[in-house]
Structure 1
């Protein structure tokens, strides 16, 4: 009986050690399928939606340990409002000031899981040299083999709401909405 008890204890310890040493996997952002966008109220007339076309970064995911990390850099000069003149205007000092602050970043501090999927991501958002804590709510998340690249891939959609005035970009507020919804549609490929 003593031998069976020792064998059982060894199996339990082995299983615990295996889960404690779960391996995080790193995924590189697919810049051709990752688009941060932002929307805001324009004079009470409509919700305007614009996007950024150049994004880099990584997502680290450990499914077994239910942990993760997100590190994203957005090229702010890649803003696309759908109108070239406004693209230039929004890059000026009153808004994004891309000459002085060419990038924005998001670095996670905590990923909260619901079951085996991320539900929210807390982190630090930096725009125009101002860093504020934000929480991205994950509305979609999947891990699947990429059908063309034959590598594991993740896909996600997440969003948060900020006040642009808190990032020194509040010109015309409140007529042009101060609250801005940031949405990230992301795909990343296992490295």
Structure 2
């Protein structure tokens, strides 16, 4: 009986070690059809304007067991969508995004903080118009599960941060048009 218990314990220990040896970070490719960074700001105090970007690429690495991850996102700044084509062009000018010189913005994480099994915050470097500043994204929703249509592992998240656009050399019309800009991102990514 004693040797059976030892064998059972050894088998359980081997299974646990084998499971953790097999578990590894998974790399997810950003699903551009379901990933949309949005930004909002005060327009002369009259209203909060909402705009988005239509073209986002990148990858997310997520290890649920180790509670680690990383995020690397590129936003096509020429794909700004304000709902008004003339204003889209205005924002791409030198006073704002200057897309002729800086066609993309990037976010590269430096740290992912977990609360339980889910990311709570993602710290990293945001680069807009050639200026890089540290920011912290607050994660308001996170899901990791097999995609019901693609039959592959998938993740999704919603997160936000607030920046001052003047710190990224895009401060034209401050303070009349708000300097504080909230950035929200809805992200979905599929295992590669």
User: Structure 2-normalised TM-score?
Assistant: 0.91
Secondary structure in 2 matching 1:144 = strand
Q: Which residues in structure 2 correspond to 1:86-165 (within 5 Å)?
A: 86-165=87-166
1:41 equivalent in structure 2:
42
Q: How does 1:62-81 map to 2 (within 5 A)?
A: 62-81=63-82
| SS at structure 1 position matched to 2:86 | helix
Give the equivalent residue in structure 2 for 1:167.
Answer: 168
1:146 deviates by 1.2
Instruction: Describe the superposition over 1:65-110 as per-residue Cα deviations: whole angstroms up to 9, x where unpaired.
Output: 0000000000000000000110000000000000000000000000
Which stretches in structure 2 are left out of the alignment for 5+ residues?
Answer: none
Task: Write out per-residue CA displacement over residues 150-174 of structure 1, whole angstroms, 9 at most, x where no aligned residue.
Answer: 1111111000000000000000011
TM-score, L = length of structure 1: 0.92
- Deviation of 1:8 (Å): 6.3
Bigger mean CA offset, 167-176 vs 146-155? 146-155
State yes or no: 1:186 paired with 2:159.
no
SS at match of 1:88: helix
Distance, in Å, in 2 between the alignment partners of 1:73 and 1:153 is: 19
| Aligned-partner Cα distance in 2 for 1:31–1:173 | 32
Bigger mean CA offset, 150-159 vs 60-69? 150-159
Cα separation, 1, equivalents of 2:41 and 2:52: 12
Deviation of 1:19 (Å): 3.8
Query: Higher mean Cα deviation, 138-147 or 41-50?
Result: 138-147
Q: Indicate the RMSD between aligned Cα atoms, in angstroms.
A: 2.2
Distance 1:50 1:136 in 2: 18
